[in-house]
Each structure stands twice: as C-alpha cells, then as structure tokens.
Amino acid sequence: MANDSGSFAGKVALVTGGSRGIGAAIVRRLARDGAMVAFTYSKSPEKANEVCALVERAGGTAVAIEADSADPKAVSNAVDETARRFGGLDILVNSAGILVRGTIEEFSVDDFDRMVAINIRAAFVAAQSASRHMQQGGRIIVIGSTAADRIGFPGGSVYCMTKGALAIMIKGIAIDLSARGITVNTVQPGPTATDMTPADGPRVDSLKKLIPLGRLGQDDEIASFVAYIAGTDSSFITGATLTIDGGYAV
C-alpha cells in the first residue's frame, strides 16, 4: 500500500495544521515521496521552521504559511498562495483541528463556535478554495477521528460532533467534484501518540486496553495511509470514511 519514493514528483500539496503531530508527519511523508509541500500553522513558528528544516535536510521541499484556521480568509489565502508559489495544487490534506473538552453543564458557546470554525468550517473553506485550483485527479483528504463513531471520554460531545460532521460533509463534496475526477475522503485515526494523546499520559494505559492491537498508533502510520489515499492507486475511492485505529472502534 506504500507509495514508491518519488511517486508524487511534480505534485503540489497543502497540509493545513502541518507544524506538529499527524499534520507534520504527513508533510514529511508527502515531501519524502517527491511532492512540493506547503503547510499552515497558527502558532509556534519555531516548530514550523523545524518541520521545513527536516524536510529540506532529507532533500525535499516544504514551505510554512502562517494562517489561523479560525479565519476563513486566511485559509483561502493559504490555498491561493500555495497554488501561486508552486504553479497549481494537486493534493489538499486538512489536518488542522482543536480539542476543547467540557461537559454540557460547563461548555461555553464561545468554545463551541471556535471548535466549529476550526474543525468544520475551515475544512469546507479549504476544500472549496482548493477545488478552484485542482485539475482532473486531484485529491482532498480530511483528517477526522474515530471520535465521530465512539465518544470515549466525558466532555467530548462537541469535539465528536465536529468530527461526525466532517464524515458526512465529505460525502456531499465528493459527489460535487466527482465529474472532475477529484476524490474526497476522510481518514479517521484512532488514539495516536501526539501532543493531544501523549504516549506517557495518565489515560494511556487504560486507553490501550480498549485497542485490540494493544498500543497507540504512530503519526507516521497515519501519514503512510494518507499517502496511499493521495496516490494513484486509490483513484476509485471517494466519499469514504476510512478508519485507522488498531481496532479501537470495532
């Protein structure tokens, strides 16, 4: 299922939220496979620069674009800037997202609105903007979560709602863009060792008991799956919600 090195040679990719975690792993993987990759970040330019440096040391191309996913204009501008800089856009991976926890008694409307803006609206705006630049055979991939199917913790109702919304939204976008051969899919990781779920966190031991494979996923594993969906071998997959979770949601 892995792509051969150089399989994305000449392709242009944009990864939103690409300065850390799963997003950064996707940037590294697509660049390793030959794509010219731009990625957005909203904070920590140091981390963004570190991702660029890692890619460049490996012989790849990566450019960081500051863009807050809560700002729809910033998102669309990042798409346009990527297309201008590299002469087009072939692959969009929407990885930007936030998690704010809170039970129904305490969750604020401001937090609700921000989660919807970043987790749902930004994915829609990015896909809409990307579709204006993509040619036949483009790829749009949204990073969702098994939280769309399984609420495994208290205070997760809004976060899980946003991930469920993505899984439904991409089905409609996939139909809209099908005549142009642009595929649109959601990749839903399960518990993965990132800043959001630290490998040494207090919940990890109990969480592993819920995963049949007995461990957290690794960001490189998610990135490998995304690379497959972005490649030519997946050209008949669209409108799909694809889970990679070690059996967590079974």
In what helix (H) or strand (E) does residue 116 lie, and over which residues does it extend?
Answer: helix 109-116
What is the CA 7 to chain-centroid distance, rounded?
A: 20
**41 is a catalytic site residue:** no
Question: How many residues does the structure list for the chain?
Answer: 250
Instruction: Tell me which H or E stretch contains 99.
Output: none
Structure tokens at 236: 């008949």
Report the alpha-carbon distance of residue 32 to residue 8 in Å, rounded. 9
CA gap 205, 22 in Å, rounded:
21
Which one of the listed residues 41, 159, 228, 248 is annotated catalytic?
159
Kindly tell me the burial class for residue 116, based on how many C-beta atoms sit within 10 Å of its own C-beta (0-12, 13-18, 19 or more). middle
Q: Using an 8 Å Cβ cutoff, are 18 and 42 in contact?
A: no
- Which of 139, 147, 184, 181 has the alpha carbon at shortest distance from 14? 139
**Which residues are known catalytic residues?**
159
